[in-house]
Homo-oligomer: A and B are copies of this chain.
């Protein structure tokens, strides 16, 4: 398989020259890697609410995405909502798929593997007896999550598998979901 790239440093849509330059820059100035991401949420009605994602902090200063991203969330009718968006727990699955896939493309590019297809289905099993308060032995969240990847590219099977494994080893969302993160909650009432 031969792929012609206009920019020889670009593979899989990843500008590897910039990627390596970024790594070098952070190696020289580790504080640049301190980021804070944010979501601003507004309740609409019932289980329907909406988050706005735009501002973040990184590389020493306040920044913003090129545009504002807005996402609704809701419950389906079977969970007493109006289905104006996915459930919050479904967004967790999207986040995991997206993080593993972005990492995979970067790692493939760094290893000079050209990918032709990456698909995944992330499924999470949850027993709602937990959040409904009906069984104290059942946790509120997912009991387990499975990711099934299909990966195609110009490398042997074991090399393609190693890309997924390295992405898992360096995935922020995989770490958050498997190892947990402390969460503090502050409340202003009016």
Contact = CB atoms under 8 A, between A and B. Distances in A.
A4 interface: no
Contacts of A173: 88-89, 92, 141
B180 A105 contact: no
Interface in A31-75: 33-49, 51, 53, 56, 58-59, 63, 65-67, 69, 71, 73-75
A47 B117 CA distance: 13
Given A39-B121, A181-B143, A105 B172 contact: no
Interface in A131-161: 131-135, 139-152, 157, 160-161
A126 B35 contact: yes
Contacts of A95: 73, 88-89, 91-92, 95
A90 B128 contact: no
Q: How many copies altogether?
A: 2
B185 A39 contact: no
Contacts of A12: 45-46
A132 to B, nearest CB: 6
A32 to B, nearest CB: 8
A125 B76 CA distance: 32
A26 B128 CA distance: 9
Contact of A186 (B86, B149, B178): B149
A11 B143 CA distance: 32
A105 B47 contact: yes
Nearest to A124: B37
A11 to B, nearest CB: 10
A175 B143 CA distance: 10
B183 A147 contact: yes
A93 B177 contact: no
